[in-house]
Structure 1
Amino acid sequence: MLNSRSSFAIINKGRSPEERSCIWIEKGQFYGMGYMASDAGFTNPSEIRDFVLRYQDNHYMMQLILNYAEKYPSRVFKQ
């Protein structure tokens, strides 16, 4: 799943209890990362895209993200 061209988010704790960190992968490519309020609700993982800042991706970063997602699958939200 993670090696395909799927879109998904990784959600984890943020810098404070009031926020969560988020990473968005779109069609198998790193899209961006950012923070959202811990009480922010979403019904579709693609809504997380609205909370992230766009960043340039590279192979090394994608490898780190995929390794993390495989290690912590409970933090991955698939579209």
Structure 2
Amino acid sequence: MRVVVDLSRCEGYAQCAFLAPDAFRMHGEEALMYDPSADDARREQVLRAAAACPVQAILVDQLEGRVSSSAEASAP
């Protein structure tokens, strides 16, 4: 899973840090630090955090697993 935060949109509400503290944390009052390659064990927390972002600044790319699965299925 890949996580991308548009830091120009992020306004530091910190909802993500409350919901997924292993993947997101605040550095000071406004600077967000995050793990861009959060592991699958944290998937539910990260998805909830992304959904709770008031400015929708968090993008979670879940296609990685699906792409490899469909590539395997089409292999001869």
TM-score by length of 1: 0.34
Q: Higher strand share goes to which structure?
A: 1
Give the number of the structure whose alpha-carbon radius of gyration is greater.
Answer: 2
Greater length-normalized contact order (CA 8 Å, ≥ 6 residues apart): 2
